[in-house]
A and B are shown apart, each in its own frame.
Chain A
Amino acid sequence: MSQLTFEPVAAVAVVLGLAMLGVTRLDSSFWLYGIQTVGLGALAVWMGAQHGELTLVVVGSAVALLKGVGVPIYLARAASRINCRRDADTIIAPPLQLFLSLAALALLILVRPFNGSLPISTLPAIGLLMLGMLMMITRRLAISQIIGFLVLENGIFLYTIAQPHTMPFVVEIGALMDVLAATMLAGLLTFKISRSFEHIDVARLKELKG
C-alpha cells in the first residue's frame, strides 16, 4: 500500500522538477517548487503516520510549511524587490535543457547505473538531485541557482524518506534549518549583488577575478 502512494508522488515530484527546467518565468518556478515541496512533505507525513514514526510526521509538516509555503513566498518577494521576473537568457535554451534532463532521466531509469549499490526506491531522489544540479549549471540568474539548489535539496529529502530509519530526527531538522538559513542568505546576497552590479547574472561574476 505504501508503495502505491510513494511511487506516484515521487514521480510527480520528478515531473514537476522537469517542468521547472522548462519554464523561464520565475513565478512559475516558485509555484512548481512550492507544489513539489508540499507534496513531498505530505508524503513524509503520510508515511510517518503509516509506520507510526513521529519524526517523519513532524519533519514532513515542517518541510511542507516552511519550505513549501514560506520559501516560495520569500523568494517571490525577493525577486519582485529586485524587479526580476524571468530567467530568459539561459546558457542552454529551455527546450534543450528539458530534452537533456529527459535523456539523463531516461538513462537513469533504463540503464540503472547504480544498480546494486542503491535500492530502486531511491531512483526518483537521484533524478531530482540530477535535475537540481542541471538547473544550477544551465541557469545564469542567482535566483535560479537558489531554486536549483532547493530542488537538489528536495532530492536529498526524498532520498531520506525513501529509506526510513536512515537519519535521526535532529539531523533532519538541522538540515531543514540549514537549508532555510542558506536560502535566506542567498536571497539577501542576490539583493546585494543586484544592488552592486545592477544584474544578478552569475556567469558574469568571472569579471571579479583579479
Chain B
Amino acid sequence: MSGVTGVSMLLSVLLYLLHIAIAPLFLVGLVRKGKGLLQRRQGPSVLQPFHDMAKLFRKDETVSGTTTWAFRWAPVIGLSTIFSAALMAPWIGLRSPIPGDFLLFVYLLALGKFSAGIGAMDTGSAFGGFATSREVAISLQTEAAMILAFAALAVHAHSSSFAAMLSPIRPSLHVTVLALLVVIALALAAVAEMSRMPVDDPTTHLELTMVHEALILEYSGPSLALMEYSTALKTLLLLGLVGQVALLVAPPQSALPAYLFSLGVILAGAVALVIAESTLVKLRWRRIPNLLSFGVTAGVLACLLVAVRG
C-alpha cells in the first residue's frame, strides 16, 4: 500500500516538474498565437518560445563593465525564487510537492522583485533605474491586494497554508461571493505582476513606457533566457492560482476532472489575456494606481465579508 502511494507520489511530483518545465513557454506561445489570430494574421508558431529559448542559450552574453555580481546573479535568484514559489503553490489541480503558505509565496515573489531591481540598477542606466522605481511603486498595491485577498481566504479556511485554503468547500452563496472578490483582487494584482496590459505592454519598444521590459533591457543570451522563462513561469503560476480560487465556486469531485477543469480555467485566463492585449491600450503611468486600487478594494471587501459572516 505504501509502495503504491510512494509511486503515485513520485509520479505526481514528476508530473508537477514536467508542468513547470514545459507549460510556461507553451502558454506564452499560445497567447502570442491567439493574439495573431485575433489580429487576422497567422501569428507565430506555438512552439516559437521554445526555439527562442534555445537560440538565446546558444548565444554569447554581453555584460556591462559597470556591473557587479548582482547583475549576473539576478536571473539565477529570480528563477530560483519563482521555482520555489511554484513548488509551494498548488496550481493546475496538482498538489504541490512542498506544502507552502500564501505569505511565503507573496514574499518569495517580492524576493524575485528585489533581485531583479538590484540587477537592473546595477547597470547605471536610466532605464534600469526607472523600471525598478516603477516596479516597486506598482507592487505596493499588488502586494497589499494579494495579501488581503489570500488572508480573507485563509481566515475562512482557518489556515494560511495553500492546501487548506484551496481545498474544496461546500459551495454556497457566501463562498461564491468570497471567491469572486478574491479572484478580482488576485486577477488585478496578477495583471500587474505579470507585466501585462493595461499596466505594462510586453511588446513595446518605446523604452519610456516600459516597466518590465526596461528592467531586463541589459540582459542578453542565456541570462535573458532565464529572465524570460521566469516571467513565463510566473504568468502560469499566477493564472493557475487565480484558476484554483475560481474553482472554489464549483469544486470538482475527483482528481482528473479537477486537473482538466483547472487547465480549462488557465486556458480561459490566456484567452482573457489575448483579448485584453488586443483591445486595451496601455494605461498612462499616473492612472495605474487607479486601476490597482480596485484590486485592493476587492480584497478589503473580501475581508469585510469574512469578518461579518465568518
Contacts and interface: CB of A to CB of B under 8 A. Distances in A.
The answer on direct contact between A and B (beta carbons under 8 Å) is yes
B290 A22 contact: yes
Contact of B290 (A4, A95, A102, A110): A95
Given A94-B290, A95-B289, A95-B290, A110 B297 contact: no
Contacts, number: 43
Contacts of A18: 297
A8 interface: yes
B294 A22 contact: yes
Contacts of A109: 304, 308
Interface in B159-192: 173, 177
Given A95-B289, A109-B308, A110-B308, A15 B301 contact: yes
B282 to A, nearest CB: 16
A156 to B, nearest CB: 24
A102 B307 CA distance: 14
Given A95-B289, A110-B308, A102 B300 contact: yes
Contacts of A22: 290, 293-294, 297
B176 to A, nearest CB: 10
A11 B174 CA distance: 12
Given A8-B173, A109-B308, A110-B308, A98 B294 contact: yes
Interface residues of B, number: 16
Contacts of A15: 301
B211 interface: no
Given A8-B173, A22-B290, A24-B290, A98 B307 contact: no
B296 interface: yes
Among B177, B290, B308, the most chain A Cβ lie within 10 Å of the Cβ of B290
A100 B173 CA distance: 27
A74 interface: no
A8 B180 CA distance: 13
A106 B305 CA distance: 10
A32 to B, nearest CB: 12
A169 interface: no
Contacts of B287: 24
A106 B304 contact: yes
A103 to B, nearest CB: 9
Interface in B269-310: 287, 289-290, 292-294, 296-297, 300-301, 304, 307-308
Interface string A100-126: 001001100110000000000000000
A105 to B, nearest CB: 8
Interface in A1-25: 4, 8, 11, 15, 18-19, 22-24
Nearest to B297: A98
B307 A110 contact: yes
Given A106-B304, A109-B304, A99 B290 contact: no
Contacts of A24: 287, 290
A22 B290 CA distance: 7
B144 to A, nearest CB: 11
10 contacts: A22-B290, A22-B293, A95-B292, A95-B293, A95-B296, A98-B294, A98-B297, A99-B293, A99-B296, A102-B301
Interface of A: 4, 8, 11, 15, 18-19, 22-24, 93-95, 98-99, 102, 105-106, 109-110
